[in-house]
């Protein structure tokens, strides 16, 4: 992913108003992000524990979406799998995140949900740059490049559903 500026990020959001995009939290460490290892940038809002954000590159430029997730806690013994990168995590490591649809459907309250790693570090898990814990990644016959392509396909499919 190419490095993004705060202005790039704020201008990329498709499922919130310009005013909301102007007020949302953007991390201050953009220069320190591992851009070469990211397929999308995701972060949680420290001021709003039920909110997170995802910005991915698309053919027309970056596309950002606001996400919400439940605050309910799962038991430590419960394991869930991320729908994007196929990493499993115990407890609250994976969460159902919902994004308001784009346009009139979103204004009517329609949304799309997807199970995502709660820390939104899918790109790093797939590349082995961040370890989710023992037994969290399955041995696969796919190469890392193929796994990255699969994950990017899942991200694209999720973003496409926001427009349908």
Region 61-85 average pLDDT: 81
Examine residue 145 and state whether it is found in any structural domain, yes or no.
yes
Q: What is the pLDDT of residue 123?
A: 96
Examine residue 1 and state whether it is found in any structural domain, yes or no.
no
Domain that holds residue 152: 6-161
Count of domains observed in the chain: 1
Q: What is the pLDDT of residues 104-156, one digit of tens each?
A: 999 999 999 999 999 999 999 999 898 876 555 667 789 999 999 999 999 99
Q: What is the pLDDT of residues 47-66, one digit of tens each?
A: 988 999 999 999 889 999 99
Which own/partner contact pairs does 35-39 have at CB distance under 8 Å and 24+ positions apart? 35/1, 35/2, 35/3, 36/1, 37/123, 37/124, 37/127, 37/129, 38/1, 38/123, 38/124, 39/1, 39/122, 39/123, 39/148, 39/151, 39/152, 39/155
């Amino acid at each position: 992913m190419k490095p993004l500026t705060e202005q790039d990020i704020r201008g990329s959001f498709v499922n919130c108003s310009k005013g909301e995009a102007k007020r949302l939290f953007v991390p201050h460490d953009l220069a320190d992000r591992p851009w070469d290892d990211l397929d999308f940038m995701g972060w949680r809002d420290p001021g709003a524990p039920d909110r997170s954000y995802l910005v991915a590159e698309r053919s027309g430029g970056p596309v950002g979406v606001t996400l919400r997730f439940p605050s309910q806690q799962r038991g430590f013994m419960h394991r869930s799998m991320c729908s994007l990168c196929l990493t499993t995590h115990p407890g609250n490591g994976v969460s159902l995140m919902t994004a308001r649809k784009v346009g009139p459907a979103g204004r009517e309250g329609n949304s799309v949900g997807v199970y995502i790693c709660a820390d939104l570090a899918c790109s790093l898990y797939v590349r082995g740059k961040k370890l989710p814990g023992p037994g969290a990644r399955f041995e696969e016959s796919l190469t890392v490049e193929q796994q990255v392509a699969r994950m990017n396909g899942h991200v694209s499919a999720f973003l496409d559903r926001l427009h349908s």
